[in-house]
Structure 1
Amino acid sequence: MATDTPTNPGRRAALLTVARTAGTATGLVIAYYLLPMDQPLAAGTTAGLALGLLAVTALFLWQVRAIVRSPHPQLRAVESLAAVATLFVLLFATSYFLLERDTAGSFTEPLSRTSALYFTLTVLSTVGFGDITASSDTARVMTMIQMVGGILLAGVAIRVVVSAIQAGVRRQREKGP
């Protein structure tokens, strides 16, 4: 059995973070594919998107607090950003899928769960291949909201997380060994 060295607890924490991050993302994607989405949400799609965005924001704020209090703030930040980004993507993929089910022709082609996820990732990454585009005003508005949210996630959220990491590291130093 390996002896405990000062690096082993950090190594174990890093491995645990990788496992939790991969497990969380995998679990969320599996849930996306398994959740019953047989009934279109109609007018509720937009309300569901708004509530989902509020939930992602609340989760993000809770995660920021957890980063500051964590014994490993950098690792916790990676886990937090991965969870929030995964939820953000799946929220929009679900919304696009449900919108297309409710209003066929909202996109240039019918969306399966996979094509909705693909469209979401091409919009978020700003690649925008153009093979699937928003056709209806509702789909275009939802896509614009995703674009703004993606910019905020990439810019503001990362800055907030970096500040939380710095606060967590300061907290660790003040606390001492």
Structure 2
Amino acid sequence: MDPLSETPVPDASLPVSRREAWRLGTLMMLRVAMSVSLLLAAYFLIPTSASERRADVPWLVVELAVFAVVVGIQVPAVVRAKHPVLRAVEALAVIIPLFLLIFARIYLETSLRDPSAFNEPLDATAALYFTVTVFATVGFGDLVARSQSMRTLVSVQMLLDLVVLGAVIRLLLTAARRGVARRVDEIGRQGGAQPGA
């Protein structure tokens, strides 16, 4: 079956036993928890460079390039995985927090450099809250971008949110389908090579 088609491919990579499913799921959740914890620790513990005068746009471009590299590494990893669907879920569970932390860090540093950029100065928690609020599109109220540059950056984040929600998720799902198709093919070849088959 075509791995890019909308017709679901049977997931031959799924574990056979319930015990194995729990083991794989638990390991995946532990890896995600560790990865997200490391990202959050870095976000909260690495000092900001608010005292330095620096432009946000070049840093945003660099950080988004790093994000693209991370996504680019994840796609082949999903395709090659023994359990591609679980690997795709794991990748998304790390990629989305990374994306949000990129914007939160820029909002934080901008607010520390220019407190008038928002209706109130942001600390690390408020910057992360603001970023998640923009991502979830639940509206504002308590925190609002005031400066033109911050309104532009928030608009860029909103557009990139759509890209992450649409293109990146689709890319990883397609990679998972290809990985499942690859596993089905491998299992089929192994079954055909057995004596007496």
TM-score, normalised with respect to structure 1: 0.92
Count, aligned residues: 173
Retained in 2: the 8 A contact 1:92–1:120?
A: yes
- Structure 2, unmatched stretches of 5+, are 1-14, 191-197
- The equivalent of 2:68 in structure 1 is 57
Higher relative contact order (CA 8 A, sep 6+): 2
Distance in 2 separating the partners of 1:132 and 1:61: 33
**Structure of higher CA gyration radius:** 2
Could you tell me which residue of structure 1 aligns to residue 5 of structure 2? none
Alignment-mate amino acid for residue 183 of structure 2: Q
* Equivalent residue, structure 1, for 2:139: 128
TM-score, normalised relative to structure 2? 0.83
- Tell me the percent identity: 35
Partner of 1:13: 24
Aligned AA (1:37): T
Q: Which residue of 2 aligns with 1:35?
A: 46
Greater Cα offset, 23-32 or 119-128: 23-32
CA deviation string 1:147-167 (max 9, x = no partner): 011111111111111111100
Report the equivalent of 2:118: 107
The answer to whether the Cα contact below 8 Å between 1:67 and 1:164 also exists between their aligned partners in 2 is yes
- In 2, Cα distance between the equivalents of 1:146 and 1:102? 20
User: How far did 1:129 drift?
Assistant: 2.5
CA-atom RMSD, angstroms?
A: 1.5
Query: Closer, same or farther in 2 for the Cα pair 1:119/1:150, shift >3 Å?
Result: same
Runs of 4+ in 1 over 4 A off after TM superposition: none
Q: Name structure 1 gaps, 5 residues minimum.
A: none
SS in 1 for 2:117: coil
